[in-house]
Amino acid sequence: MKVPITAIRKTSNNFDILSRLAIRMQVLSNKMTTWSASTYTKELNIGVQEARVLIVLGRLGEVLANEICEFGKMIKETLVEQ
């Protein structure tokens, strides 16, 4: 079944990405991460990567480096270099 082009245009004009739950959750997550990383940076004088590691350790407790990278969506090689 073909969809009329007018129906496609009407749908695309009404599409508002900000009203979608997934993008709103991502924005909220980014704000929370930015806030906590900036707090760690100010209070402890550390960088964003180190703050992310502390956030993951605070959430998971004592874990392996691989688990920190997996949970924190970080690349292990970039952490080892520092």
The pTM of the full predicted model, rounded to 2 decimals, is 0.50
The per-residue pLDDT for 62 is 92
Answer whether 65's CB lies under 8 Å from 79's CB.
yes
pLDDT higher at 79 or 30: 30
Give the integer Cα–Cα distance in Å for 57 and 78. Answer: 17
**Model confidence over 2-49: pLDDT tens digits?**
555 555 455 556 667 667 888 888 888 888 878 877 887 888 888 778
Q: What is the dihedral of CA 16, 17, 20, 23, to 10 degrees?
A: -160
**Model confidence over 50-76: pLDDT tens digits?**
888 888 889 989 998 888 888 877 777
Q: How many CB atoms lie within 10 A of CB 55?
A: 18
Q: Break the chain into its structural domains and give their ranges.
A: 20-81
